[in-house]
């Protein structure tokens, strides 16, 4: 294992050496890059197993090297004891980037270097104009979430253990949102969104469609609302002022739409204004003398440096304006069609539901918990559909990772009672099904007690559950559960309750694999 690892490391050492010949990196920066790749190599297998990542280690490292090669000309290491650190402290960041100058400013750590390398590469996450009221905030969250997702391999993994550390430099909202989308859909969807430079795909709509297909329409709507509420709750007072104006506008429009006849009449008046302009243009375009007269009138009012050369220029301007007015008329015609009227009204109502956060004095933590409740509803909706053994195992692994996600700097999902109650229900269902389908061994004949035993083994940092053995020892008022990572004791816990030898399905004090082999 060690020989293979260092052999691979030397390969990347050579690749980096060739690439860095054209860069202005200091020797310290170069060494940190090499150490960073070494750490990734050491941690990646556990990282990909625990997180359910299908991208290979080589693909991941190649992306990092490609990012350095294309987008980074220099890395400046900031000494925490010197004045330059003020910039990082002000931004509450471990690294900041200058994309135009292709520079990274970072603390002299492997994690900070990786953060900078991941931040400097282009990330698009295009969002259409109709979502303007949260567009910038969602883009910020997805970009930050993407960076945190890529840097987790050395932030929470060190080659021999998984540790979801508290980090004051991390805003946990972007990570929560990004990981929820990744777990509920997949990383490929997020990567496509991140890299797509086209403007044709409505990724918000695509996200909702895919969630609806997998988890149901109700889950898709409530998850979306909870997600945008969370994102907007984690913004500045300045943003909230802008949102207040949007909220007032939307409420007014919704109220107008509620009076359907008045609304249609108002739309008709607006449409008539554009029709009137179209008729004026048609009269000018249909008569050469009128066109020349209009050309002279307009040109007389324009300063010398902006005068039109001839009437053909005016002809183009009038045609362009006509096209705009026709589009607006068609828009109003579509707007009053019953199906479009109902759709717009529903969209306005949904936006009002989201922006009602402005009326409430709730914390970001409160909206984070509400969002995670919706994520759990999605997971729960899968339970009756799961049939294959692979599906059971995949969801158990997802729940193991999900429960360790941080809600705040001090709390993970599993630390919040209302969330963990639902996590436990999902796990109990999955474990019982896993035992019936001969995925897991049955340790105790009574299902609830059997779950309490296996639950101890599921809550470990062991990367591969196939390495887990369980040993039981009955006591007067419960059972002692010892969990092994191969031959090494990972944990020993006492489970209270009435456990009898009659219902024990394995011999005591024996290493029994959790998996059926």
- Mark the ranges of the chain whose per-residue pLDDT is less than 70: 1-10
- Residues 197, 437: Cα–Cα separation, whole Å: 45
Cα torsion angle, 25, 156, 426, 230, sign: negative
Q: Is 177 contained in some domain?
A: no
Among 120, 144, 161, the domain boundary falls at 120
| pLDDT given for residue 16 in this prediction | 79
- Whether the CB-CB separation of 295 and 308 falls below 8 Å is answered with yes
Is residue 334 domain-shared with residue 399, that is, in the same domain? no
Contacts of 56 (CB under 8 A, 6+ apart): none
Q: Is 252 contained in some domain?
A: no
Per-chain mean pLDDT for the chain: 92
pLDDT tens column, 297-354: 999 999 988 899 899 999 999 999 999 999 999 988 887 788 888 888 999 999 999 9
Pairing of strands 103-106, 74-77: parallel
Is residue 337 domain-shared with residue 423, that is, in the same domain? no
Phi/psi region, residue 441 (left: phi>0; alpha: psi -120 to 50; beta: rest), is beta
| pLDDT given for residue 83 in this prediction | 72
Is residue 398 domain-shared with residue 509, that is, in the same domain? yes
| pLDDT given for residue 15 in this prediction | 81
Q: Is 405 contained in some domain?
A: yes
Is residue 477 domain-shared with residue 413, that is, in the same domain? yes
Q: Is 222 contained in some domain?
A: no
| pLDDT given for residue 168 in this prediction | 72
- Residues 242, 343: Cα–Cα separation, whole Å: 25
Among 96, 120, 144, the domain boundary falls at 120
Q: Is 293 contained in some domain?
A: yes
What is the residue range of 291's domain? 258-347
Q: Is 84 contained in some domain?
A: yes
Is residue 392 domain-shared with residue 508, that is, in the same domain? yes
- Whether the CB-CB separation of 335 and 267 falls below 8 Å is answered with yes
Which phi and psi (to 5°) does residue 251 adopt? -60, -45
Write the DSSP symbol of residue 412.
Answer: B
Is residue 391 domain-shared with residue 502, that is, in the same domain? yes
| pLDDT given for residue 24 in this prediction | 82
Is residue 82 domain-shared with residue 26, that is, in the same domain? yes
Q: Is 436 contained in some domain?
A: yes
| pLDDT given for residue 4 in this prediction | 41
Q: pTM for the whole thing?
A: 0.86
Q: Is 31 contained in some domain?
A: yes
Q: How many domains does the chain have?
A: 3
């Amino acid at each position: 294992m060690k020989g293979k690892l260092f052999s691979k490391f030397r390969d990347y050492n050579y690749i980096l050496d060739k690439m860095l010949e054209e860069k202005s990196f200091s020797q310290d920066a170069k060494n940190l890059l090499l150490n960073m790749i070494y750490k990734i190599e050491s941690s990646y297998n556990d990282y990909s197993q625990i997180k359910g990542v299908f991208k290979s280690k080589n693909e991941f490292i190649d992306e990092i090297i490609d990012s350095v090669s294309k987008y980074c000309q220099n890395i400046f290491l900031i000494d925490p004891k010197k004045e330059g650190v003020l910039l990082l402290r002000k931004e509450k960041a471990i690294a900041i980037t200058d994309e135009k100058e292709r520079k990274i400013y970072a603390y002299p750590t492997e994690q900070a270097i990786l953060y900078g390398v991941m931040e400097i590469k282009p990330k698009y996450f295009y969002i259409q104009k109709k979502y303007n009221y949260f567009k910038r905030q969602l883009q910020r969250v997805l970009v930050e979430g993407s960076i945190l997702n890529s840097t987790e391999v050395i932030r929470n993994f060190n080659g021999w253990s998984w540790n979801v550390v508290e980090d004051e430099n991390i805003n946990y909202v972007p990570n929560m949102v990004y990981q929820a989308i990744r777990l509920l859909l997949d990383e490929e969807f997020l990567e496509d969104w991140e890299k797509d430079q086209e403007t044709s795909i409505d990724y918000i709509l695509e996200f909702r469609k895919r969630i609806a297909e997998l988890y149901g329409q109700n889950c898709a709507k409530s998850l979306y609302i909870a997600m945008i509420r969370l994102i907007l709750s984690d913004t500045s007072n300045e943003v909230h002022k802008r949102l207040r104006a949007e909220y007032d506008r939307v409420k007014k429009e919704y109220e107008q739409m509620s009076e359907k006849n008045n609304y249609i009449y108002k739309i008709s008046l607006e449409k008539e204004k554009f029709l009137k302009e179209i008729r004026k243009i048609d009269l000018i375009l249909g008569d050469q003398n009128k066109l020349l007269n209009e050309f002279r009138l307009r040109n007389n009012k324009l300063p010398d440096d902006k005068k039109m050369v001839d009437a053909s220029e005016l002809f183009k301007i009038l045609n362009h304006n006509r096209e705009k007015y026709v589009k607006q008329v068609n828009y109003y015609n579509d707007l009053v069609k019953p199906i479009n009227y109902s759709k717009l009204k529903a969209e306005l109502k949904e936006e009002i539901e989201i922006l009602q956060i402005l009326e409430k004095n709730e914390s970001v933590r409160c909206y984070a918990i509400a969002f995670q409740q919706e994520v759990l509803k999605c997971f729960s909706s899968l339970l009756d559909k799961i049939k294959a053994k692979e599906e059971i195992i995949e969801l158990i692994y997802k729940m193991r990772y999900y429960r360790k996600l941080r809600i705040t700097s001090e709390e993970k999902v599993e630390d919040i009672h209302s969330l963990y109650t639902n996590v436990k229900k999902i796990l109990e269902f999955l474990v019982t099904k896993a035992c019936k389908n001969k995925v897991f061994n049955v340790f105790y004949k009574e299902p609830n007690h059997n779950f309490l035993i296996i639950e101890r083994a599921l809550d470990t940092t062991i990367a591969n559950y196939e390495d887990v053995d369980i040993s039981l020892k009955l006591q007067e008022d419960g059972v002692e559960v010892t969990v092994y990572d191969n031959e090494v004791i990972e944990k020993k816990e006492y489970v209270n309750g009435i456990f009898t030898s009659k219902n024990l399905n394995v011999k005591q004090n024996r290493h029994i694999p959790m998996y059926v082999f």
